[in-house]
Structures are given as structure tokens and as C-alpha cells.
Structure 1
């Protein structure tokens, strides 16, 4: 699924969320991924180019697009740096281990706080953690933390990101169809219908995890 998601262009309007120059003649509807939904073996993931993505019964007739090497990168390789940061060895990104509001300890104790989009940007830009320069992740970066192999919420590697809230997390990516909205990633346990990500008004309070290069 993560491979297929790389074809989804967040800078496009919902009716054309793919680069038409690179993928001419793309049908604006659902394309299958090879990734099953482990919470329900009758379901598999697909990407819907008319809005975002979801999953349905895998007996449905949808479109397909093939991919070649390199090897699949469904499961990232994380390293806990022991200083409140997590290194993704696959992408090279460094992540804040605990969500906004939690204590910077081994278990990320305490409650996470939800904030509006502008406050999320400000928080990450001013975060002092290690020697990194922090920012709010874009949509493609944050969706990389979604753990498709999880059987229980939150849908994230809970050994690396403990006590993560099973809810929506902000991205820095503004919604192309409506600039009053921004994209979020949904770490709730998937239950059909389920949107892995979608747009929401920037005045809504959502949860936050920062990233650094």
C-alpha cells in the first residue's frame, strides 16, 4: 500500500490526485494494493484517486497498476535514539517519540494534547529536542508511520511510539481543494469505511508528532 500511496499527489485537486503527465489515462477511481487488512481478512487496501484511500471487500472489481524493484518498503526500520527521538532507517527521517503534551520519557506517559493546525506548525518549529531542527511532517511523511500490520489501534509501531493516541494527527500539507483545510493521518483502528487520510478545517484540534531531516 505504501508503494501505491507514492503515486498520490497531495498538491492536486481531489478529482485528479495523480500526476497526469507521469500517469496518463489514469481512471479516477479505486486501484488495488497487495496489502491485506489484517483486522479482517476479507478486506484489502486500495487507493481511491477520487478522494484518498480506504478498503473494502477484496472481491470487488477495481483497477490495478503494477510495480517493479526495488524491494517493498511496507515495514520501516526504526531505532530508538534514547533521547526522545526515533530514527527511521528507511527514510532517514527522525521522529519525535512522544506526541505533543506527553512526557518525554520511555513510555510517553501523560495525555497528548490536540491543537489547531497553526499551533501545530508553531509547536514543531519551536521544538527543542536533541540537536535537530523540527517541523510538522507533510502528508507523505506522516503516512509512513501508519502500521498496516497492526491488529489493534493505534495503527503505529507501538514499541517505538508508545501511548500514541488512536486519533487524527496533523500534517503540514494544505488541502488543494480548499486551503482552509489541511490533511490529517488517521491512526484509529480501521473499520470500513475508513479513510487513511483526509482533509479537515485548520481550526479543528488534532494531535501532533514532529519530524526532522
Structure 2
């Protein structure tokens, strides 16, 4: 009888744990990922009508709505994000150095609050919307809700490009970019990207200056809570998401990435999808990098394929998202990726980490495999086009 009772209790405990993961209460979701705002559908070159299940390009960003952005203007210079529990500074001040920003945040008493801080990269990225659009260096529509937040442009009168209005965070790159530059991650809400920016001017060694948008509240935002489910899946309890533990193990273009995710059956589930940009960025581990931990920038609970890509150097893949990035002559032809290895570029004929592990950029959705990798833009960004996939599914709430 004791054995039977013990077995019964064990079975009940296992059942309870699984049920708890599948029905995460709202109050446990300290890291709720906010939707990208995308409502349109795209193929490789144009806007299309909504694909049906089984059709090409089914499963892209607009197919799946998660936590719809919701803000409250508090009327005192602050904006509350009703999804994340974070409160934001509505209007940023002038550009300042990294060190000055921490002093400013400590002294800030905006809205009668005294606990302002410099946001992490994950906190700041929660505000990005991929309804924005840019064409190279020319701003068209910001990648942030301009009804609630100001977003200045770079000033051409002082030699800046319109896209030179980046916002820094408290997250410093654990490696180095370019030619051994100390680097701080920032979000560019003018061109819709994450990259690392040199903390100091490489020539003068004076502190570079960027914009900052201060934040307060929900200090747990951006902190993952991973559980290895023992069935080739990993649950992030904090975000209410379940992930494919190992990646696709092979590279593919964007259309094939969508198809791969929609057809995946893993861990007893068949409702997998290609993650949107904000979902995939949520599992970047900015304390890890190829340079410092000899690993991908992701928690060690995950398995990531090591590749030998450009110039046969050790590297970890870029990973596709379901999100189209509206940039360039044809704004529909590129999709967002996250670099879990070095965000490489070739400058002065030298391949180097130009943006930092955990950067978010975009690649053409399709191309001839023999034509890649190629190098593009002022930092010679490596374009692979054939990237890897790590699928996600939502846990029922």
C-alpha cells in the first residue's frame, strides 16, 4: 500500500508540475514579451494577402499575435507600459556619456519617483515596433510608438545621418568589437536594429555620447527562468514560452525557415512557430560570447550548432525570426535575424566582430547559396542569407 501511495503521489506531483508550466499565471510572467505590432504579410518581395495554413509564407509575424502593446500617458512626463509593468521617461534629454547617464538617472525625480535607472538592452528592446520603416540612412517611420515617445533624428547640420539617434543601455558587451573597442549595446529606433557602439572614440579616447531613455519598475524584466523539460524542449517560465532545445542543425532561407517551424513536431507538441524578433531576442544571454565563454550568447541549457562560415573561422549561426524588416530599396525583401555568435563584418579586408554577440540585424530573405556570404554596408556586415532556426511555442495561460 505504501508503494502504491508513493507512486500515486509522485504521479500527481509530476502532473502538477507539467500543468503549472502549461498554465502559467499572469503574476509569474515577469518577462512578458510585447508584440512587434506587425499586421501586414509579406513574401520575399512584396505585401501579400494573409497566407493560409499549408501555403508558402504561412507562420510569419502577423500570423501570431501575442501581447498587444498598451501604454498609458501619466501626464507627468512618464509613460507606463501596461504589458511589462515598466514606466518610461517620455522625452529624452540631450545626448550624454555612459557615465553621465548613470549619474543622471540617480538624480532624476521625474513624476515624483526617485528610483529611475538606465535600462538593460532587454528592457529597452521591449519598446521596439516593426511597423517602422527606413531606407538606408533616411528615416521614414520610427520603430517606436510616436504617440507616446519622442524619437529625435540625427542632425545633418553637424555631420550626422538621420539614423544617428541611437539609444544606449546599461548592457555592456562582454567581448570587444572592431579593433578591441569597449562596447555598449543600444537600440536604434530610427532604423530598427540592435548593435554595439564603441564606448569611447577610437581616435581621441574621449567618451562617446548617445541618447538614454530612463526606466523604473519591474526589476525582474529581462530575467529568464529556464527549465529543461527532458524532452528536447526548454521552458522559460518568466516569459511563458517553450523553446526547441537544439537548433535546426542546418541553414535555410526565410521561406524554408517558416515552413520548417510550422511542420515541427517535438516534445509531444505540433504548434511550434518561427519566433518573432522580440521573442528570439529574449533568450540572448548577454553575459556570454564566443570571445569570453567560447560559446554562443545563449544559456547553456540550449544546444547551438558550431559552424565554420566566413573565412572558415569558428562561429555560431545567425537565427531567423518571423519578422520582416522594412528597409532598403525594396523594403519587403529582408527579415530580422539575431546573431548568437559574433555579429561579423569585414573592414579593411579584415573579418571582425563589428556589432557584438546578441546584435539584431537583417538579411535578404532569399538568394543563390553560392553567392553568399557577402559583405554589406559601412561595417561590411556579413550576409549569410541561409540562417538557422530555433522554434518556439506559447504556453497556455
1:211 aligned to 2:395?
no
TM-score (norm 2): 0.48
1:192 aligned to 2:192?
no
Aligned with 2:133 (options 8, 13, 27): 13
* Equivalent residue, structure 1, for 2:298: 156
Q: Deviation of residue 135 (structure 1)?
A: 0.5
Q: Deviation of residue 75 (structure 1)?
A: 3.3
1:47 aligned to 2:204?
no
Aligned ranges 1:44-193 → 2 under 5 Å: 44-51=184-191, 52-58=193-199, 59-100=207-248, 112-132=249-269, 133-150=271-288, 151-152=292-293, 153-157=295-299, 159-165=300-306, 166-177=316-327, 178-189=331-342, 191-193=353-355
Q: Once superposed, what is the RMSD of the aligned Cα atoms? A: 1.8
**Structure 2 residue runs without a partner (length 5+):** 1-120, 154-164, 200-206, 307-315, 344-352, 367-384
Secondary structure at 2:216's aligned position in 1? coil
Query: Is the 8 Å Cα contact of residues 169 and 206 (structure 1) preserved in structure 2?
Result: yes
1:27 aligned to 2:181?
no
Q: In structure 1, how many angstroms separate the alpha carbons of the residues matched to 2:324 and 2:342?
A: 24
Q: In structure 2, how many angstroms separate the alpha carbons of the residues matched to 1:205 and 1:161?
A: 21
Query: Is the 8 Å Cα contact of residues 3 and 72 (structure 1) preserved in structure 2?
Result: no
Q: Which has the higher helix share?
A: 2
Q: Deviation of residue 69 (structure 1)?
A: 0.5
Query: Is the 8 Å Cα contact of residues 319 and 390 (structure 2) preserved in structure 1?
Result: yes
Q: Deviation of residue 171 (structure 1)?
A: 0.3
Q: In structure 2, how many angstroms separate the alpha carbons of the residues matched to 1:135 and 1:32?
A: 31
**1:60-107 C-alpha deviation (Å, 9 max, x unpaired):** 11111111111143431100000010000110100000111xxxxxxx
**Structure 1 residue runs without a partner (length 5+):** 101-111
Query: Is the 8 Å Cα contact of residues 247 and 305 (structure 2) preserved in structure 1?
Result: yes
1:36 aligned to 2:172?
yes
Query: Is the 8 Å Cα contact of residues 342 and 355 (structure 2) preserved in structure 1?
Result: no
My pick for the range that moved more, 34-43 or 86-95, is 34-43
Give the direction of change, closer, same or farther, for the CA distance of 1:185–1:193 in structure 2 (3 Å limit): closer
Q: Deviation of residue 37 (structure 1)?
A: 1.4
Q: Deviation of residue 27 (structure 1)?
A: 1.7
Query: Is the 8 Å Cα contact of residues 75 and 147 (structure 1) preserved in structure 2?
Result: no
Q: In structure 2, how many angstroms separate the alpha carbons of the residues matched to 1:131 and 1:80?
A: 15
Query: Is the 8 Å Cα contact of residues 262 and 273 (structure 2) preserved in structure 1?
Result: yes
* Equivalent residue, structure 1, for 2:364: 201
Q: In structure 1, how many angstroms separate the alpha carbons of the residues matched to 2:147 and 2:186?
A: 22
